[in-house]
Structure formats: structure tokens, C-alpha cells
């Protein structure tokens, strides 16, 4: 019995869905290095390739975990962390190289602040054993956000192939920021309602 108990967590930690999550976390510094060290369009395309691969693992790890019944507490913990690391770091790098500049920095700030807010609210609600389910709108927000950032990672390199790519990416970033505010409000409302009911 002791041997089985000791090896089970190791099997779950090394499951393919969890390995894909680890790869998504490793993709974060890889995107940074591509944008920071590889100059010119080549750095953009390498970063986009890594970024797209990371986004695909976001869908694939969840799908495989459900189909193969390999869902684990470790995976549930690391999956949203990996997503937030990828989004936050990519936003910072795009602001650093001025792909996101001017008023668009406001959209990036909204997205970052929402991620921090939701992380805190989830921790608060978890302590109260309250679970807020992911809505369809939140899924659309994530999809819009990921696509917008992918377009912006291509940025000037993409503009040389299809003029206006960066402008399209910035417009989508604003749409993602609007959805971000909406879904963030849903989390805040649930937390306030729960806190108020417990204090009564």
C-alpha cells in the first residue's frame, strides 16, 4: 500500500497533459529570448512559432486530461498559472519593443490587472469552498486575447506580408480588454456576494 501511494503522484506529475503544461511554462522564457536576442523579422517569426505552440498545448492538455481521465490537482494548479505567465510576459515584451504603445498600453494594463484580480479572487473563493465555473464568455475572452497577442508578436514582420496586421492585433487587444473587464466583474460580483452572505 505504501509503495502504491508513493508512486501514484509521480505518475500523475509525469502524465502527458502535465508535461504539456510544463512545456507551456518553458515557452515563456523562450518567447522572451526570441524577441530579445534574435534581431529583426527572424526573432518575430521564431517567437510566434513558440507562442502558437504554447497556445495549442493550452487546449491539448485539457482535452487529453479529460479524455484519458488524467486530471490532477497539480494540473489544475499549474494550468492557469502557465496561461497567466504566457499572457503577462508576452504583453510586457510587446510593450518593451513598442509594438504595444500609446493608448494601447491601457488595454494591456487592463488585461494584466484583471489577471491579478481574478487570481486573488479565486484564492479567496477557494478558501470558502466556492467554485466559480468558467463561462462561455470567458472562453471567448481567452481566445480573442491569445489571437490578438499572436498577431502582435508577428507585428512589423507580419505587416510586410499583410499590411495592417499590427493595427488589427491592437484592435483585437482592445476587444479582449473589454471582455476582460466583463468577465472580471463576474468574478468580483461572485466574491462580494459570497462575502456578504457569510457576514449575515
DSSP readout, 48-93? HHHHHHHHHHHHHHHHHHHHTT---HHHHHHHHHHHHHHHHHHHHH
The tens digit of pLDDT for each residue in 43-64 reads 999 999 999 999 998 888 777 7
The tens digit of pLDDT for each residue in 99-151 reads 999 999 999 999 999 888 887 777 777 777 766 667 788 888 889 999 999 99
Identify the helix (H) or strand (E) that includes residue 200: none
Using pLDDT thresholds of 50, 70 and 90, give the confidence band for residue 65: confident
Using pLDDT thresholds of 50, 70 and 90, give the confidence band for residue 2: very low
Q: Please tell me whether the overall predicted TM-score, pTM, comes out greater than 0.95 for this model.
A: no
Position 130 scores a pLDDT of 67
Position 7 scores a pLDDT of 41
Is the pLDDT reported for residue 177 higher than 50? yes
Taking the CA atoms of 4, 81, 133 and 150 in sequence, report the sign of the dihedral they define: negative
Amino acid at each position: 500500500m505504501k509503495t502504491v501511494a508513493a508512486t501514484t503522484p509521480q505518475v500523475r506529475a509525469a502524465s502527458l497533459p502535465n508535461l504539456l503544461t510544463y512545456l507551456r511554462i518553458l515557452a515563456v522564457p523562450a518567447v522572451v529570448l526570441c524577441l530579445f536576442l534574435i534581431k529583426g523579422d527572424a526573432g518575430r517569426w521564431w517567437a510566434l512559432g513558440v507562442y502558437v505552440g504554447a497556445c495549442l498545448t493550452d487546449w491539448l492538455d485539457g482535452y487529453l486530461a479529460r479524455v484519458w481521465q488524467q486530471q490532477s490537482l497539480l494540473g489544475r494548479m499549474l494550468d492557469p498559472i502557465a496561461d497567466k505567465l504566457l499572457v503577462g510576459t508576452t504583453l510586457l515584451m510587446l510593450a518593451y519593443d513598442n509594438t504595444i504603445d500609446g493608448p494601447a498600453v491601457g488595454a494591456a494594463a487592463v488585461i494584466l490587472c484583471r489577471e491579478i484580480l481574478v487570481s486573488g479572487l479565486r484564492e479567496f473563493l477557494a478558501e470558502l469552498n466556492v467554485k466559480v465555473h468558467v463561462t462561455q464568455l470567458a472562453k471567448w475572452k481567452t481566445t480573442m486575447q491569445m489571437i490578438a497577442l499572436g498577431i502582435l508578436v508577428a507585428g512589423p514582420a507580419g505587416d510586410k506580408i499583410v499590411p495592417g496586421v499590427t493595427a488589427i492585433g491592437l484592435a483585437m487587444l482592445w476587444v479582449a480588454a473589454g471582455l476582460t473587464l466583463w468577465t472580471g466583474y463576474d468574478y468580483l460580483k461572485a466574491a462580494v456576494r459570497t462575502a456578504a452572505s457569510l457576514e449575515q
